[in-house]
Structure 1
Amino acid sequence: MTLTPASPRLLLAIVALVGAITAVLLWQAVGDARFAAGFVATMLAVAAVGLVFRRERTAEVAPPATDWTLLGQALAALPEPVAVADREGRLVCVNPAYGEAFPGLPAPQAALPGTAAGDAAKAAWRDGVGVAEAGGRTITVTRAGAAEDHLVWRFAPAPAEARARRVAQALAGEPGRRLGLAGVMAALVGETGRLLAANPVFLARALGDADAQPAGRDFTDLLAAGDDDRIRIAAELTPGAPGDGPDPLRLIQLPLGEADAEGATLVMMLDEDGRVATRPDARSMATVHVHALLGMLPLGLALAERDGRLLFMNEAFERAAGIEPGRPIVYPSDLFVREDKGAVADTMRRVTNGRAPSSDLSVRLAARADEPVSLTIAQAKGLGEASVLLSLKDNSEESKLKHQIAQATKMQAVGQLAGGVAHDFNNILTAIIGHCDLMLMRHAPGDSDYDDIQQIKHNSNRAAGLTRQLLAFSRQQTLRPQVLQLPDVIAEVGNLLKRLLGETVRLEVKHGRNLGPVRADPGQLEQVIVNLAVNARDAMLEKGGGTLTIRTYGVGAEEVRELRSEVLPVGDYTALSVADTGTGIAPENLAKIFEPFFTTKELGKGTGLGLSTVYGIVKQSGGFIFADSKVGQGTSFVIYLPVHRAEPAREEAPPPKRPRQDALWGTGTILLVEDEDMVRAVAERALTRQGYRIVAAANGEAALEALALLADAGETVDLIVSDVVMPVMDGPTMATRARETHPDVPVLFMSGYAEEQLRRSIDIARVHFLPKPFSVQQLAEAARDAMALKA
């Protein structure tokens, strides 16, 4: 019997009832009420002790830990190397394939050359999944675990290696045996000329044993040239016989690698006038067998007559060529674009006439003109009416993966460039805005120059807004994340949306139930919604109006798993969908919409930073964004934000509010460190006007020298105001060195980078941040607040 939570109470009640009945019987039998009462008390005490013991035993049961042995047994069945590493990169679980691929069991990042593996790991920690290519393998790294504190590494072989493995398995299995019944010998030869696999008929004739192990043998040693210089099997040569032996062989070579790269080669060998062809109707039987066997191979293969007509295509060939069901294909050239038809036909003629044993072409299919494919054309004599064998590699998945990697690399490079440009531009804007503030202190409203100075400052603030958008795209802006509900954010921005959309666009808002909370900056999320709504409005105005639908709904881990997305990690999300009924986005532009400065609007009607800002905010918030569009029907953007699961006890308490001080005047010595002369000059003048004594330095080393001179003179420094990124010695290094001699001095960092990013990389106590660009008043307030908190 399994006790429910109410069972202990029921047990105690039963004990009490039985004790009461027993006490009455004892009282009647003995006549002593005190003896009966003592008996009942003893029974209740024993029952209570038993319940307490049971609860202690239950409380001692610890939650189950991760069974790495069980996980290792589950991974052992996978043919590809798989490893699980913790946050420090240490291996905690691997499968046998990993040990075979990487002897000594090194950490994944140390097992591969270059930095691709490290970049994939960084992408996985940031986005949930990372993909790279290194060491001839495709690496997929996924963030996993209940606390998302582990990485799962999967090492898939390169496409060419994967094809070679499938062909080797086919030759050693039933397809290879049936090839032998058709009189076809086949062998898979590696780059160095050594055998990787072969079908039983070739092993029987070349090695005398159909079950022999071919791996590692030199393929050329198994063949020999007779007196007539024709190739035969070396084991079958008979000295003194005409031509030195049996019938010569015709070799057909099918490279499995790329056209311009080395790789394994499938060699098929047929007897020129062999024993199979001596039987009646053997040629037709061989053709039937060959067609059936070619249909089983994973390679895209086709046979053509001497005049170029197609005789046979297997399913892999049809799939790789993108042939639609019911579409008549007579000649191979019908599959390719008009510019490549002549090259294919000419190559087939040369191969048929014996002027070229085989040839590789890079051609474009009519079904996918934007993706070149590799076509191999080889002789196929001895296969009935067939004269030419064509091999087409289905590299659509490989091309898709390469495109995704290239796109991710491009977006990362553009983001780094945008962040660098914004950082440098912020220094210029800081100087312009600061000088405007200093000039406004000398001009009162009504002066002839006052309005001009205000206009310069207004335009500078607009430019600062553009730099913030660039920083948002490069995920370097300062965020103030908090736990919130998406419907609340949409409600806050609802009235603004109605004014922005106008009379011709109808707004519909739908919210799902049981939405999980998310952790993000509400102001930035409002900007995301507004940017998407404005783009949707412009697209719908071209059609005279439409409907904008904003919807929120929950997406569970099981639903994410069913999506089978290579980008979205499995987990619980709260989704935000923004869909319009506008003109849509052309397919050729859909992959570029998140790039900065890309816009399809007319000149002067858009900066091209709206969607790039949306992309950066979503990614910096730990989310994912996808776009889907149909021309003429509309566009839909879906944002997935992970559900926030942190315990309330772990939430950081908000800093105590300090009473606001209106006075900006102060006293004390400030060490100002800034490598940009214009920014240093503005900051020095601004702080001097507020009553501070300023000691300026152009870099970290000069600042430490100035600090030492002040110490020798018996003077103290009340505040260090420093830039973060500087040549020779950066701000954090300088501050750390300064704290060795001045442990109590507060530090105020000026930077255009995100405060959260800087706090993670700077391990210094009592540090304050001032984002660039800033005004003279903001600098004075930041200096006052930092000095007020001096320990």
Structure 2
Amino acid sequence: MTARREASGDSRPQGALVMGAAVVLSIAAVWFTTRQPVLVGVFAAGIAAFGSIAWAFYRPKPVVLEPEQVIPDWSVTVAAIDRPDCAVAIIDRAGRLVCANARFEEWFGTGQAPPRLPVDNPSLERLAKAGRAGWRDGRGQADVVEGPTGRWRAEALRAGRGDDYLVWTIQPLVASDPVAELVPHLTGKLGRALAQAGISAAIVDPDGKIRIASPGFALRAVGDAAALLSGEDFVSLLRQDERDRISWAREGKRGAPLTMYYLPVADPDAAGGLDYEQAPSLMLLVDQGVGIGGGGGEGSAAAPHLEALLSQLPLGLAMADRDGRLLFANPAFMRAAGREGDAPPIYPTDLVVQEDKGPLSDAIRRFAQGGVSSGDIAVRLRHQPEDPVSLSLAGVRGLGEAAVLLGLTDSTEETRLKRQVAQATKMQAVGQLAGGVAHDFNNVLTAILGTCDLMLLRHTPGDSDYDDIQQIRANSNRAASLTRQLLAFSRQQTLRPEVLQLPDVVSDVSHLLKRLIGEKIQLVVTHDRDLGPVRADPTQLEQVIVNLAVNARDAMQARSESGGKLTLATRRVTAADVRAMRSAIMPQADYTALIVEDTGTGIPPDHLGKIFEPFFTTKEQGKGTGLGLSTVYGIVKQSGGFIFADSEVGRGTRFTVYLPVHNALPEERAAKAAKPEVVTEWAGGGRILLVEDEDMVRAVAERALTRAGYTVTTAADGDEGLEIVEGGAQFDLIVSDVVMPAMDGPTMAREIRKLAPDLPVLFMSGYAEEQLRKEIDIANVHFLPKPFSVQQISDKVGAVLSASLRG
């Protein structure tokens, strides 16, 4: 609220009269002195002139006062902060109490302003620290403030237009109800755990009535664990003999003597301390036990008995004292902390990384000194610093030195499963992407290779363009090998499996390996006897061996310039051996194993789980694509096998490939033993329906087949191809792509087979033949993988027509 004030000047009538009188007296003095009228007139005129000039320069002007802040109406502020649940006080920069509500006056009076309140010295320090933080940072907080009349939590907030006030809000700390907190635990898992440890527990009110009893207590007292004993007289369930020993009343004289321990269940931090006469008691009855509570003066034995109980629980539990020292940790806690079998450390902070030591120490100290409460804190353990875990803390009372209960769950298996699921999902997504890219790229390569073949038919060696065309074709073949690598990684390549012996494949590739690894590296090849045959693509197996050998060579060269030793071995692995391995991945069957072992640098443990991921490489930029081992993994898995890597840093790496032994089916053996049939070749010519949605591929295939002497009819998609057949056109063979917009190749083939059941079909695709056969499930169909050359499509069409003629 502001106001403006105006004034006409600072002159007053009295001042004007005084000035006039002075002028008259001056003129009169000149007259009496000189008696000359002229001189008196000149003097009077001068006085008038000087007076006029002075009036012009110094005449009073209206004064306009600037807006000024009106003193605030504190009664409005008092009404705003009048809260019955907390005390509110406002202080200024000088620390003076400006305003406070009635609750503040009731609790602390008005003689002192925060942070100087009638509380204990530690609380005064916390309040002073909160006040400094409030002036400096805008907000300060004191978690616990204790005084003669109660316990509070204080918060200071800087406010005002010039940040020149500090608003203190002081809220009472409500005492917890230990009995209400203990009841659900006593009737739940804690009660069952106590029963398993031979401890019967019940909460008894001061009048001797049972408020709640654990299932173990009910079972021993009345023989029914589900019985409700609330309201029953506690003493009536027990009997006392002549030697003052107590036992269960229902068991009579034959009952075993009991030891009873009791613990008052009340808030130890409540005002006035514990009231033993008015507080309910936790009664613990143990057969042949030792004192653990307030009965009998044997309370010092509480820790061993409690430790024995906690050590049997599957939950990771530990206890710490008020100074943050670890008093006890059960095996589950140490296992969850990655220290299974080790002795507990002196401090819980020794289990976490350096950055989390301070927050954990502060949390333990806060829970130890505050009221009975619980909470969680995220920490990173030293044995797995990349994965935060949740550590629960709870303040406890009545357990001797123990002040904080720590809880930690072993999440190793959960973390491992999460990583495996994430890895599998990522591999599947990247595999689908790689397969789709390779399929589309194969269409482009088919057009390039086919066009090069057609151009080479018009050029001879020595022509100016012949070498350039050959260079284009060579680069296209290199690109085709890359797409095959992508398909192998995604397990979508076309395999041509054969029944073979692994030593034969190793022997065929050994000469190439000697040139690849160099003269400094020793190559050792060993084989077991009686190896079972395997069914796999020999070309792809050679690629597996070459990739593993090249990686081994690089690892050995990185370790030493003097070379190393590369070992290739084949081993016979029986079902009993697999059973002894206790593998959860490999089925129990007979395998033939291929082992590739080197003496290189080894693989660090944090990299070992990632080596089969696509594009993961530890080589320098430009020296590795990260597809080598992922391709190996794809080939092995597509062949029905398994691959594992074992490594030790500084000593080398061993890859083991397990391929299942192939047992020939009766029909396969019969076909092998049968005499070969007389082969009838296709005489040449024929009518072909070519269906391909890619214009470049369709043009190349049409020219190749036309040049080979076939009559070719083309269609851009499945709908158009079906319309041509429905129009009455006759064909000897359908050559079609698989994936096309609208109607795809398999759907078109099924509709055409309704009109011409015996018409053979040749599918062209960049996807794996085995995968397509499973998805298509159409009889008498053949496959031609992309990319293909002019000669390959001509030969394949001729072979299919010859097969249909024999059929």
Aligned pairs for 1:556-635 (under 5 A) are 556-635=574-653
For residues 670-723 of structure 1, what are the alpha-carbon distances to aligned partners after superposition, in whole Å with 9 as ceiling and x for unaligned? 2111122222222223223333333222221221112222x0xxx312221101
Match in the other structure for 1:213: 226
Q: Whose relative contact order is higher, 1 or 2, with alpha carbons under 8 Å and at least 6 apart?
A: 1
Q: Which amino acid aligns with 1:771?
A: P
Kept after mapping to 1: 8 A contact 2:571/2:593: yes
Match in the other structure for 1:730: 744
Question: Counterparts of 1:787 and 1:552 in 2: how far apart (Å)?
Answer: 42
Match in the other structure for 1:200: 215
Kept after mapping to 1: 8 A contact 2:718/2:745: yes
Describe the shift of the 1:477–1:236 C-alpha distance in structure 2 as closer, same or farther (beyond 3 A): farther
Describe the shift of the 1:606–1:366 C-alpha distance in structure 2 as closer, same or farther (beyond 3 A): closer
Describe the shift of the 1:355–1:683 C-alpha distance in structure 2 as closer, same or farther (beyond 3 A): farther
Q: Please state whether the residue corresponding to 1:531 is helix, strand or coil.
A: helix
> Which one of the candidate residues 737, 754, 758 is aligned to 2:768?
754
For residues 97-134 of structure 1, what are the alpha-carbon distances to aligned partners after superposition, in whole Å with 9 as ceiling and x for unaligned? xxxxxxxxxxxxxxxxxxxxxxxxxxxxxxxxxxxxxx
Match in the other structure for 2:796: 782
Match in the other structure for 1:487: 503
Q: Which amino acid aligns with 1:178?
A: G
Kept after mapping to 2: 8 A contact 1:443/1:450: yes
CA shift at 1:176, angstroms? 3.7
Question: Counterparts of 2:578 and 2:203 in 1: how far apart (Å)?
Answer: 48
Match in the other structure for 1:362: 378
Describe the shift of the 1:662–1:435 C-alpha distance in structure 2 as closer, same or farther (beyond 3 A): farther
Match in the other structure for 1:284: 300
Q: Which amino acid aligns with 2:401?
A: E
Aligned pairs for 1:48-447 (under 5 A) are 172=192, 176-180=196-200, 199-201=214-216, 203=218, 209=222, 211-213=224-226, 249=265, 274=282, 277-323=293-339, 329-354=345-370, 357-447=373-463
Question: Counterparts of 1:761 and 1:391 in 2: how far apart (Å)?
Answer: 52
Describe the shift of the 1:248–1:203 C-alpha distance in structure 2 as closer, same or farther (beyond 3 A): farther
CA shift at 1:561, angstroms? 1.7
CA shift at 1:198, angstroms? 9.0
> Which one of the candidate residues 735, 740, 753 is aligned to 1:721?
735
Kept after mapping to 2: 8 A contact 1:319/1:394: yes
CA shift at 1:295, angstroms? 0.9
Match in the other structure for 2:476: 460
Q: Please state whether the residue corresponding to 2:772 is helix, strand or coil.
A: helix
CA shift at 1:787, angstroms? 2.6
Question: Counterparts of 1:184 and 1:509 in 2: how far apart (Å)?
Answer: 76
CA shift at 1:659, angstroms? 6.5
Q: Which amino acid aligns with 1:634?
A: G
Describe the shift of the 1:558–1:736 C-alpha distance in structure 2 as closer, same or farther (beyond 3 A): same
For residues 203-247 of structure 1, what are the alpha-carbon distances to aligned partners after superposition, in whole Å with 9 as ceiling and x for unaligned? 579xx8563338xx9xxxx9xxxxxxxxxx78789xxxxxxxx99
> Which one of the candidate residues 656, 660, 675 is aligned to 1:642?
660
Describe the shift of the 1:247–1:522 C-alpha distance in structure 2 as closer, same or farther (beyond 3 A): closer
Q: CA RMSD in A?
A: 3.3
Describe the shift of the 1:732–1:278 C-alpha distance in structure 2 as closer, same or farther (beyond 3 A): same
Q: Which amino acid aligns with 2:198?
A: R
Q: Which amino acid aligns with 1:778?
A: Q
Question: Counterparts of 1:275 and 1:616 in 2: how far apart (Å)?
Answer: 65
Matched, 1:469 2:482: no
Kept after mapping to 1: 8 A contact 2:517/2:553: yes
Query: TM-score, structure 2 length as denominator?
Result: 0.65
> Which one of the candidate residues 714, 718, 723 is aligned to 1:700?
718
Describe the shift of the 1:519–1:438 C-alpha distance in structure 2 as closer, same or farther (beyond 3 A): same
Moved more, 781-790 or 567-576: 781-790
Match in the other structure for 1:76: none
Any stretches of 5+ residues in structure 1 without a counterpart? 1-166, 186-196, 223-232, 238-245, 253-270
CA shift at 1:177, angstroms? 4.3
Larger Rg: 2
Match in the other structure for 1:740: 754
Question: Counterparts of 1:758 and 1:344 in 2: how far apart (Å)?
Answer: 58
Describe the shift of the 1:326–1:692 C-alpha distance in structure 2 as closer, same or farther (beyond 3 A): closer
Kept after mapping to 2: 8 A contact 1:175/1:293: no
Q: Which amino acid aligns with 2:488?
A: A
Moved more, 374-383 or 356-365: 356-365
Question: Counterparts of 1:356 and 1:752 in 2: how far apart (Å)?
Answer: 68
Question: Counterparts of 2:735 and 2:266 in 1: how far apart (Å)?
Answer: 81
Any stretches of 5+ residues in structure 2 without a counterpart? 1-186, 205-211, 235-261, 269-278, 285-292
Q: Which amino acid aligns with 1:680?
A: R
Q: Please state whether the residue corresponding to 2:690 is helix, strand or coil.
A: strand
Query: TM-score, structure 1 length as denominator?
Result: 0.66
CA shift at 1:455, angstroms? 0.7
> Which one of the candidate residues 536, 551, 565 is aligned to 2:569?
551
Moved more, 752-761 or 503-512: 752-761
CA shift at 1:285, angstroms? 3.3
Q: Which amino acid aligns with 2:357?
A: K
Q: Please state whether the residue corresponding to 1:180 is helix, strand or coil.
A: strand
Question: Counterparts of 2:267 and 2:383 in 1: how far apart (Å)?
Answer: 32
CA shift at 1:652, angstroms? 7.6
CA shift at 1:606, angstroms? 2.9
Match in the other structure for 1:161: none
Question: Counterparts of 1:646 and 1:251 in 2: how far apart (Å)?
Answer: 78
CA shift at 1:770, angstroms? 0.7
CA shift at 1:509, angstroms? 1.2
Kept after mapping to 2: 8 A contact 1:177/1:199: no
CA shift at 1:409, angstroms? 2.6
Q: Which amino acid aligns with 2:306?
A: V
Q: Which amino acid aligns with 1:392?
A: L
Kept after mapping to 1: 8 A contact 2:451/2:700: yes
> Which one of the candidate residues 530, 549, 552 is aligned to 1:536?
552
Matched, 1:516 2:536: no
Q: Please state whether the residue corresponding to 1:451 is helix, strand or coil.
A: helix
Question: Counterparts of 2:282 and 2:503 in 1: how far apart (Å)?
Answer: 78
CA shift at 1:620, angstroms? 1.0
CA shift at 1:527, angstroms? 1.7
Kept after mapping to 1: 8 A contact 2:194/2:216: no
CA shift at 1:184, angstroms? 9.1
Q: Please state whether the residue corresponding to 2:452 is helix, strand or coil.
A: helix
Question: Counterparts of 2:700 and 2:266 in 1: how far apart (Å)?
Answer: 84
Aligned pairs for 1:39-54 (under 5 A) are none
Question: Counterparts of 2:497 and 2:188 in 1: how far apart (Å)?
Answer: 54
CA shift at 1:355, angstroms? 5.7
Q: Please state whether the residue corresponding to 2:671 is helix, strand or coil.
A: coil
Describe the shift of the 1:174–1:325 C-alpha distance in structure 2 as closer, same or farther (beyond 3 A): closer
> Which one of the candidate residues 659, 664, 686 is aligned to 1:668?
686
Match in the other structure for 2:76: none
Describe the shift of the 1:559–1:211 C-alpha distance in structure 2 as closer, same or farther (beyond 3 A): farther
Question: Counterparts of 2:583 and 2:533 in 1: how far apart (Å)?
Answer: 23
Question: Counterparts of 1:289 and 1:321 in 2: how far apart (Å)?
Answer: 24
CA shift at 1:532, angstroms? 1.1
